[in-house]
Amino acid sequence: MNPLFTESPLPYHLPPFAQLRDEHFLPAIEKGMAEQLKEVAAIASNPAKPTLENTIVALERSGRLLDRASRAFSILNASLTNANLQKLDAEISPKQAAHSGAILMNPDLFVRIRSLHERRDSLKLDAESKRLVERYYDDFVRGGANLSPGDKVKLKSLNADLASLSAAFRKNVLGEINASAVIAGTREELEGLPEPQIRAAAAAAKALGAEGKFAIRLTNTTGQPPLDFLRNAALRQRIMEASLARGTRGNEFDNRATVVALARKRAELAKLLGFPNYAAYQLKEQTAGTVEAVNQLLARLAPPAVANARREASEMGSNVTAADWSFLAEKTRLARYAFDDSQLRPYYELRRVLVDGVFHAATRLYGIMFQERKDLKGYSLDMLAFEVFNADGSPLGLFLGDFYARPNKRGGAWASAYVPQSGLTGEKPVIGNHLNIPKPSDGEPTLLTHDEVNTLFHEFGHALHGLFSNVKYPRFAGTSVPRDFVEFPSQVNEMWAGWPEIFEHYAVHYQTGKPMPRELLQKVEAARQFDQGFKTTEAVAASLLDQAWHQLKPEEVPDDPVAFEAAVLKKHGVDFAPVPPRYRSTYFSHVFAGGYAAGYYSYLWSEVLDADTVEWFKENGGLKRANGDRFRSRLLSRGGSRDAMELYRDFRGAAPDPKPFLKRRALN
């Protein structure tokens, strides 16, 4: 009766969320691991000479049940978790790490893969198949295949420990976000906050058992959206202090020891595999290639970013604090450009931005079409589902949107492949976008901030990368590219949010139906570089913390993460109190519970490619099908089937030029 044991009967094999129960996951995942180990054993013991088909393609086809069950579990644990799922996460994560290790350290299997790797130039393979052989060989070497039996045991133990620690970190971050909600006793304290947000705060307080009061729930970043509006300086200070203190308060969600243990275990893993530190281990697989390249990027950006931030602070007055920055920046924006974010929100209604903005841009650029499927349900009644079609009417895939924040949903915004595209099986992609937009009270419109509009376009860039995937092997599908390349297509897609013919199509007042006045649009464009010192400094500071943790040897990992952070920020000249890092270590989920360990620099690295690509679009006529078709065919559809920078040069016709990025960030 377990619905995970068989392929989903729903269109595009959409996971049957309505039938899934917590108790389905562990049996399905354990059965999936057992099945895959049998498949792997058969491949490894095959008496026939190793071939692409009987070894590596066979591995690509293995583990269907495990992949199906693991994806569904991961999606729900991130978006609709509960105590049972968090307990399962703690149990399943080390089991999956051990399972992966058992495959990567299978000596007979590695002999076959090594044989193919040694003969890859004489096997007459097509380019994608040859790359598949190379990537599998690298995966196995990085997974410990060349280690001695004793070191393999050590690596298995480290992998299990790291999986358990990451699960604990995830649980603590979510628990701390909910536990750190700031309570305001009176409506007067919320002066300046838009009325829909006040009503949402009242509903949140009621849910927390504080009816009659108002609860400001925290988001994942250090900065908090209400700080833009709240006139009460004391309340702003309470919110910022609560945000910065997450994971260090000595309560059950304290993440300090978890951060230290993760950093130390990662350093030990890197040393075991022959790398000087974990950053070197990670960066070898990225387009940056080396620790030195990333350090040079951050060293180049930090001084001018902080100088810009200090200049911005001086323009806002003396004694600016982190709690005051957003509020004063909005006042400065209003004085300089005669508008603030509250004037924009009525023109940014969620569904209108999605359909008449995000989708409209994709239709204009790529010719794809969208049809809402109200018969297809996700795991929440608030989710939207759209079938996506090519210009010729052929089905492309399925897109799901989960846009609202929930107490049991992880912070931030992200994209997930519910079903990855595969040329082997003929499966078409199912891609989900997940945001954390505060849900308004019943009957109220969902009005977005300018940043949330950009995030909607950004995440759909990831969705396009997955939907356009057209590779043979699932190993290369969609966003299966280097971490410092994966953000590039999504950042490019942000350009259409401000493109005049797209902007005018969706920026319509939710009550009057009138478009945003052209003079207001011009002010938005003029303010594009406003506050770039702040934005760049907080991103660089977070990137420096990430690198600092992961460039340590095991014996160098400190016991006090708070003191370590302060020393790192001071060393690199980004210890500017009004601009704290976008994430502190104890709630830095990207690097301690996600896939961005030693990789948070990726957003800045990818933005160099993004800014250069925006210039290419402008030089070649902007929003037209020929440009979209080129971007799709030469880059988006290729996934990881070819070297990332080769794909970029093939699309752009040249190496990336950093000047547009420096200009955008006011660093030139």
Determine the 3-state secondary structure of 46 from DSSP: coil
DSSP letter assigned to residue 407: T
In order, the DSSP letters of 511-539 are TT-PBPPHHHHHHHHHTTTTTHHHHHHHH
Measured over the CA atoms of residue 71, residue 74, residue 79 and residue 84, the dihedral's sign is: positive
Are 61 and 80 in contact, with CB atoms under 8 Å apart? no
Residues acting as catalytic residues: 459
Q: What Å distances lie between residue 302 and 164, 288, 490, 541, 576, CA to CA?
A: 34, 18, 24, 8, 11
Query: What residue spans of 119-255 are helical by DSSP H?
Result: 127-142, 149-179, 195-207, 233-245
Rounded Cα gap, residues 304 and 581, in angstroms: 16
Q: Which two tokens stand for residue 235?
A: 């309340």
3-state percent breakdown (helix, strand, coil) of the chain, nearest 5: 60, 5, 35
Unique residue bearing structure tokens 């701390």: 176
Are 198 and 187 in contact, with CB atoms under 8 Å apart? yes
Distance, CA of 315 to chain centre: 33
Measured over the CA atoms of residue 600, residue 602, residue 605 and residue 606, the dihedral's sign is: negative
Rounded Cα gap, residues 433 and 205, in angstroms: 28
